[in-house]
Structure 1
C-alpha cells in the first residue's frame, strides 16, 4: 500500500460522511430545528464537501495527474497557484509513515459494506469499490 491508497480511502470516507450528513438533513427538515441549527448543518456540509475536493485532488496528484489537468477540473486558471495551495499537503501525504496503513484493509471493507447497504439501482454495481483500490 502507498499514500495514493490512503488518500483514496480517505476520500471514500469523506464521500460516506457527506452522504450521511446530507441524509440526516433531509430526515430532520421538519424537526423544528432553529434557523441557526439549519444553517450550521448546511455549513457543515459545505465544509465537508470542500474537504472532499481536497482529498480527491491529493489522490489524483499522488496518482500522477498533472497540475494543469487538476487546475482545469477545479475550473481554475493558474496551475502554479493550485500547485502552491496543495504542495505542502502532497508532501505530507507522500511522507506518510507505514503505521498509517495499519487497519486500512478493515476500513476499506467497512466502506464497501456501507456502499452495498446504501447503493441504489443507478449507482455503479461494484461490490468492493474501495477494497479493490488496495
Structure 2
C-alpha cells in the first residue's frame, strides 16, 4: 500500500458519497423544503466536489506529478502557491507508516460492491475497480 493508493481510495469514497448525495437531491426535488435547506444541500454537494478535486490533486502529487502540471490542471497560474497549498498534506500523507495506510484502506471492498450495484450499461465493466489499485505495485 502506498500513500498515493490510499489517496485514490479516499477519492473513490468521496465520489461514492457525492453520487449518493446527488441521488438524494434528485429524490427530494418535489419535497417541501425551505430555501435554506435547499441551499445547504447544494453547498454540501459543492463541498464534496471540491474535496474530490483536492484528493485527486493529492494523489497525483503523491504519484510524482510535478507542481507545474498540477497547477495547469487546476486552472491556476502560480505553481509555488499550489505547492504551498498542498505540500504539507503531500508530506504528511507521504510519511504515513505502512500499517496506518493499511488500516485506513480497510473496507475498500465495499466501494467495489457499491460500484457493481450502481453501474450503468455505459460505465466501464470493471468488477473491482478499487481493489485493482492494490495490484498496481
Aligned residue number for residue 57 of structure 2: 57
Count of residues paired in the alignment: 133
Following superposition of structure 1 onto structure 2, how do residues 68-87 of structure 1 map, counting pairs within 5 Å? Answer: 68-87=68-87
Which range moves more in the overlay, 92-101 or 28-37? 92-101
The alignment's C-alpha RMSD in Å is 1.1
Following superposition of structure 1 onto structure 2, how do residues 26-65 of structure 1 map, counting pairs within 5 Å? Answer: 26-65=26-65
Q: What are the superposed Cα offsets for residues 29-83 of structure 1, whole Å, 9 maximum, x if unpaired?
A: 1110111100000000111111111000000111111111111111111111111
3-state DSSP class of the match of 1:107? Answer: coil
3-state DSSP class of the match of 2:55? Answer: helix
TM-score (norm 1): 0.94
2:36 aligned with 1:13, yes or no? no
Structure 1 runs, 4 residues or longer, greater than 3 Å off: none
